[in-house]
Amino acid sequence: MAYIMVDVETDGPIPGDYSMISFGAVLVDEQLDKTFYGQLKPISEQYIPETLAVSGFTRQETLAFDDPQTVMTNFAAWIKIVAKDRPVFISDNNGFDWMFICWYFHHFTKANPFGFSSQNLGSMYKGLVKDTFQNFKHLRKTKHTHHPVDDAKGNAEALLTLKKEYGLKIKF
């Protein structure tokens, strides 16, 4: 399986009514050098200024971003290149990140290369340490900046640590 760590930045809480502004992905392997970054033009007039501010972009800047269909088509092509076998979507907050990526794939390309499921990094960690109150975020090496490639890379580093130091049985 090819684990692809994904992080999403948005301007609101749900896809369709609000927009995915940018996202980053990294193929999880020892190098962490295969990345994808997309900036997407808003698909809705609605946005929450405080939510958008987390991304570091203004509304005016996002209006000049790329066409979402083009970005999602390019992302699907990238996944096909880097994933030599079945791609697996994994995220720090897969409930949030997955719904945007899945919705955008189906809306703009009519198919989701990840299929119909995702995995949650935090839940993996909680299971390994047998404590639902624990958090994996101390395992990141790359600073969490809200640039989605940085954040995906930090989460991928944490997943590699789970494999090496905690005995997580996972094949890359």
Q: Which residues sit opposite 38 in a β-bridge?
A: 23
User: In a 10 Å sphere around its CB, with 0-12 CB exposed, 13-18 middle and 19+ buried, how is residue 145 labelled?
Assistant: exposed
Measured distance CA(13)–CA(51) in Å, rounded: 8
Measured distance CA(123)–CA(132) in Å, rounded: 8
- Residue 130 has which token pair? 């047998």
Measured distance CA(79)–CA(133) in Å, rounded: 33
Q: Which residues are catalytic?
A: 146
Measured distance CA(113)–CA(129) in Å, rounded: 31
Residue type, 71: V
